[in-house]
Amino acid sequence: MSEIKKNSLLTSMDKFLDGKIIIEQHLDGGRSNIDTILLSAAVPVKKGYKILDVGVGNGTSSIALGSSFKDVTIVGIDNDPTNIELATRNVALNNLEEIIAIMNVDILKKKISFGAVGQRDLIFDSIFMNPPYFDKECVNRSKSHHQSITKYHDGSNLDKWINNSIKLLKFKGTITMINRVENLARTICLLSEHGSITILPLISNINGEARRFILSFRKGSKAKTRILSQLILHREGGIFSDMVEDILRGRARIDLTRSEYFYEI
């Protein structure tokens, strides 16, 4: 890891997917982690798909997806100009400009426009997100600006992320998200009347309880809600489980339409 300084913000250069992609990211917060790659690995993809990354941050999830699927279009949006600049640099760094477009679009707005690419009514086959998961009124907030905008919300923001994303989604399209269990009930409430839901619990180790989840929503589907067998993140000693290690190294993905959701690529 090397450190560089741009716009008075210290960043590092880090490799993901077993070195397949390289990401410049801030040292003071908003850094990519295991959730970033797990989310990317669970996004449904087919040839020709238009995919939206809500809250693109430094672009890691979109770049991880685009590095494996060259016949899709990915739009990454964020409302933080610093994130937009960093994600744009990272897309270029990984030579994915023809696949990924980074745009300054705020998912919290009532009317969302993609006019910069000449399409104001753009809708997507697949949307994915990792919304901020702490209510800033209920916890002590980080002093880091980038940690703050990544992890803390204003109570109603989760509703706006989900409701506005549903409007941008094609019929039978999917939303994939990763978040904390304390936000699961609200998420189900927001999504359940619009389609079907599948939930993958994430537990830190065999003796732990689920603290996070990956959720897949299919718009317009009448299927019953499903809860899959939990994904164990770590083995004894804190090292990643074999399944997670394969996902983090880009050797496997997650298909939430199947009970046996783990598959090698």
Q: Which domains does the chain have, with CATH numbers?
A: 29-264 (3.40.50.150)
Count the neighbouring beta carbons within 10 Å of the beta carbon of residue 257.
12
Between β-strands 231-232 and 195-203, what pairing exists: parallel, antiparallel or unpaired?
A: parallel
Q: What letter would DSSP give residue 212?
A: E
**DSSP H helical ranges for 6-133:** 34-41, 60-68, 81-93
Q: What is the mean pLDDT of residues 213-228?
A: 98
Q: What is the mean pLDDT of residues 183-208?
A: 97
Distance of alpha carbon 142 from alpha carbon 31, whole angstroms: 14
Q: Which candidate, 259, 258, 194, places its Cα nearest to that of 221?
A: 194
pTM of the model: 0.89
pLDDT in the model for residue 3: 46
Residue 24 contacts residue 2 (beta carbons within 8 Å): no
Q: How confident is the model at residue 152 (pLDDT cuts 50, 70, 90)?
A: low
Q: What letter would DSSP give residue 183?
A: G
Q: How confident is the model at residue 229 (pLDDT cuts 50, 70, 90)?
A: very high
Q: Over the chain, what is the mean pLDDT?
A: 89
- Sequence-distant (≥ 6) Cβ neighbours of residue 141 within 8 angstroms: 134, 148, 152
pLDDT in the model for residue 5: 45
